[in-house]
Every structure is written in structure tokens, then in C-alpha cells.
Structure 1
Amino acid sequence: MSKIAEAVELMKESKYEEAANLFNEYIEENPNDPVGFINFGNLLLHIGEHESAINFFQKALSLENTTATAYYGIGNAYFEMEDFPKAQQNFLEAIKLGLEEADVYFMLGMSHQNQQQFKLALPYLLRAKEITPQDEEVVFQYGLALAQSELLSDAKKVFETVLELNESHSDALYNLGVISLFEEDVTSAVAYFDEALKYNPNHVLAANGKRVAEEAIN
């Protein structure tokens, strides 16, 4: 097993100091290989050292400026720091350089979502959903972006798909309840809110939605 692979395994076991030592050794032995810097950057990102992580990713780019995973790493660091415009720029660069993975499209979509740019998020979240159609969080966030873009009939179908993946997804149930209210189907709305509360009794929005719906009935 290579030092990089060994260090990655140590990271999975939360042995970060040992992993860091191996990454360090690899970098000392291979100072012109961006892979060592990218992996060390990922480690720093994982433990919340975002600015230090960016430095390592930028070092990787200084060695090889077309390294898509380094841009992806920088994007993740800025996302965690809630600098969504910079996150967005770096995720886009990673995609331009050929990174064709659900995660980068999802994170780019979420960067737009966090800036209230719901319609701009849609194509990226859709692409992430196409790549990983079984990932309930990806599918849910796509549905949420559709709902926030006021495309309610499309959102409804997507939230129903989320429930096919996980029938106890309380946020999907809550959103179906809200859509039912917009459709003036108050009975269905109450049923969705009840179902959301069954799986998550502390779902405040579902409790409020149920109260509003029941008041409409009475």
C-alpha cells in the first residue's frame, strides 16, 4: 500500500495525526507531486482548518494548474467558511477542468441555494441527481430548489421520489404538505404534516403547518 493510500485509511479511522505524518513524508519525498498537497489539504479541511487547507490546494495548483480536485477542495473550504461566491467560482473551475462527479455539481448548486439563487441552482442539482439518483439528500435539495423557484408541480414529483427512497423523510413530507396547501387540498396537507410529525415529533414547521391547515378546515 502506498503512503497516500495508507494515510487515507488512517483518516477513515480518525487517526489524523498519523495520517498527517504520512502525507508529510510523501510531500518531502515527492515535492513536485500535487497529489500529496491535495491529500494534506483534504485532511486539513476535514478537521476544520479551512485557510490552511486552501494554502495546500493552492500549492498543488502552483505545481499543476489544471488539477480539478484542488479547485474542488478550495471550493469546499470557501463553502465551509460561508464565502459562497468564491466557492461557486472554484467548483465551476473544477467542472471546466473535467471533474464529472455528483459532489461537485451538488456543492455548486448548494452555493447558489445559499445565496437565494434558486433558479441558478437548478441545473447543477439536476445534474447531481442524474449522476446519483439514489442519493435522497441530492434528490431532496433538487426538489427544494424547484419549490423555491415556484415550480410546484415539478417539486411535488421530486419530493414523492424522495419518499420512494426513504418513506420517513420528514422534510419531504412537510414540503408535500405545503404544496398541498397551495393546491388548496387541505385534507392532504394535514395528512402529510401528520406523517412528518410521526417520523419527527420535533418538526416545528410541520406542527405549524398542521395548525394552519386545521384552522382552514375549521
Structure 2
Amino acid sequence: MDNNERAIELMKEEKYEEAAGLFNDFIEENPKDPVGYINFGNLLLHINDKDRALRFFERAIELDEDAATAYYGLGSLYYEESDFAKAQQNLLKAIEIGLEEADAYYPLGMTFFHQEQYKLALPYLMRAAELSPEDTEYLFQYGLSLAQSEHIDEAKPVFQKVLKLDDTHSDARYNLGVIALYEENLSHALDQFNQALAIQPEHILAANAKKQIMEVWNNTEM
């Protein structure tokens, strides 16, 4: 196990100072190897030293313009900064080079989602969900983008799948309630909102939706 490998293990143990020392040693021993710069950049990004992380990722790309994980690191950095245009540019580059991982497709999709470009988000969130089918967050955001793009019939089974994986997912319950409202099934919608509130009593959207249904029923009875 070389210094790079030992440093990665130390990172997993949250021994960041020791890991940084070993990454530095690896870079001094292998100054033309982009891997050391990428891993050190990942460490710096993890401890929120973004300025230095940026320089390490850029140095890795200077050494190897096809270093996909360096572009991924830059994409992650810009995503955290909400600079979605630069995040898209770097994440797309990482994927084009060959980084076929859910962790790249998901933030790329979310850059579009955060800009309310839901249809553009769909293919990337769908791919993230395909690559990591047990990840409820990836699946949920894909379903939400479908719903926001008015693909209600396609969104419904996605939210149902989220609940199969995690029956305590209150937001999936809430969105199934919204779909039930769209289908004009008030009783089913109320049931979904009640279940969302049972899971998360402070779920404001579910509480408001439930209140509106009750008001409609009370006015009808009058």
C-alpha cells in the first residue's frame, strides 16, 4: 500500500491531517501523476477548502486533460457554490470522458432542476436512478422532475417505488397525494397527506393540503 492508498484509508477514518500529509508525500514522489492532485483536491473539498481544491483539480487536468475524476471534482465544487453553469460544464466533461457513475449524473441533473429546467434534468436523473436503483433520493428527484414536467402518469409509479424502498419517505407520500388531487380522488389524497403527517408531523405542505381538502368537504356539507 503506497502513500496514496494509505491516505485514502485515513480519509475514511476522518484523519484528515494525516491523510493530507501522505497525499503531499505522494505528490512529491510522483509530481506528474494526476491521481495525487485529484485525491488531495477531494480531501480539500471535503474540509471546505475550496480555493485550494480548485487549484489541485486544475493541476490534475493540466497533467491529464482526460482525467475524468478531476472534472467531476470541479463539477462538485461548483455545484456546492451554486455555480450551475460551470458545474454542468465540468460534470458533462467527466461523463463524456467515461465517468459512468450515478454520483456524476445526479448532480448534473440537479443543476438543471435548481434552475427549474425540469425537462433537461430528466435524462440525467433517470440515468442516476438506473445506475443506483436503491438510492431513494435519486429516484425521488427523478419522480419530482417528471411531475414538474407534467408527466404525472410516469411520476406516480416512481414515487410508489420510493415508498417500496422507504415507507417513511414523507415527501413521496405528499407527492402521491398531490397526484391524487390531480386525479380528483380527494379521499385518497387525504389519506396520503395524513400518512405524510404521521411520518413527519411538521410537514407544512401536507398540512396545508389537508386543510384545503377539509375546507372543501366542510363547504360541500354546508
Superposition TM-score tier, normalisation by shorter sequence: over 0.9
In 2: Cα distance, 1:211 partner to 1:5 partner:
56
Letter in 1 for 2:58: Q
In 1: Cα distance, 2:118 partner to 2:105 partner:
14
1:134-153 to 2 correspondence within 5 Å?
A: 134-153=134-153
Letter in 2 for 1:64: D
1:12-161 to 2 correspondence within 5 Å?
A: 12-161=12-161
SS of match in other structure, 2:167: coil
Give a deviation string over 1:67-112, Cα, whole Å, max 9, x none: 0000000000000011011101100000110111111111110111
Letter in 1 for 2:11: M
* Gap runs ≥5 in structure 1: none
Deviates more, 1:28-37 or 1:206-215: 206-215
Letter in 1 for 2:89: Q
CA contact (8 A) 1:50 1:78 kept: no
In 2: Cα distance, 1:167 partner to 1:140 partner:
13
Deviates more, 1:204-213 or 1:165-174: 204-213
Please name the residue that 1:189 is paired with: 189
Letter in 1 for 2:157: K
Give a deviation string over 1:138-190, Cα, whole Å, max 9, x none: 10010010011111111111000100101110010011111111111111111
TM-score normalised by L of structure 1? 0.98
- State the 1:217 CA deviation: 2.1
Aligned length: 218
Please name the residue that 1:206 is paired with: 206
Please name the residue that 1:168 is paired with: 168
Q: What stretches of structure 1 move > 2 A for 4+ residues in a row?
A: none
In 2: Cα distance, 1:14 partner to 1:201 partner:
35
SS of match in other structure, 2:31: coil
Letter in 2 for 1:83: D
* Gap runs ≥5 in structure 2: none
In 2: Cα distance, 1:63 partner to 1:14 partner:
28
Give a deviation string over 1:33-84, Cα, whole Å, max 9, x none: 0000000000011111222211100000000110000000000000001101
Tell which structure's C-alpha radius of gyration is larger. Answer: 2
- State the 1:216 CA deviation: 2.0
TM-score normalised by L of structure 2? 0.96
CA contact (8 A) 1:61 1:70 kept: yes
RMSD (CA atoms): 0.9
